[in-house]
Amino acid sequence: MKKKLDRLLNQAYLVLSEQQKNQLVDFVNLLDKWNKAYNLTSVRNPDEMLVKHIMDSLVVSPYLVGEKFIDVGTGPGLPGIPLAIANPDKQFVLLDSLGKRIRFIQQVLLQLGIKNVEPIQSRVEEYTESQFDGILSRAFASLNDMVEWCYHLPNKTGCFYALKGIYSPDEIEHIQQPISLCNVISLDVPELIGERHLVILRKNNEEIH
């Protein structure tokens, strides 16, 4: 699996240390092990997890601006854990409403020695902390839902980072809150079939000129 990860990282032009690569492989092994009992992901094959979960998360890394991020609806820690491993200088809150997912993440942090992640069990609308540089999610069905439920989370210059499959410009028009579209990036995930996009949005703040 390590050889496959090396190949995928090279294809994506991502450079990680041996320790980071080992942590990613160990994360996949833990996800595979726990998945049998807790049904954390529909992806059953560890090699597929490398592509559909690890690389699908890591390709976002070069676009993250800031130090404090929250991964909303993180599930088993995606994209939060791979991004935290790749960015030890940044802090990540991983938010999910299901206890079994948070327990899994706690076990991952313990076993892999990850220090820059705080897992929290909560519904996003009940989580009142704010002032994040970035709000990450690949769980929301629509951009409007993501913005609506997470509008209280970013700081004045913070951004929403929505990991999407197919991107439709119509989605932007349906967002109810005052928002600016910063960028839509077409992501190239090695060996993944299908489109992937990163949609970056920002709240409309009068302070920004």
124 known member of a binding site: yes
8 known member of a binding site: no
| Chain centre to alpha carbon of residue 96 | 12
198 known member of a binding site: no
Rounded to whole angstroms, how far apart are CA atoms 64 and 135?
10
73 known member of a binding site: yes
CA 126 vs CA 2, 7, 10, 74, 122: distances in Å: 39, 41, 40, 16, 7
CA 109 vs CA 81, 153, 184: distances in Å: 9, 24, 32
Amino acid at the residue 122: S
44 known member of a binding site: no
Residue stretches of the annotated binding site: 73, 78, 124-125, 138
Residue stretches of the annotated binding site for S-adenosyl-L-methionine: 73, 78, 124-125, 138
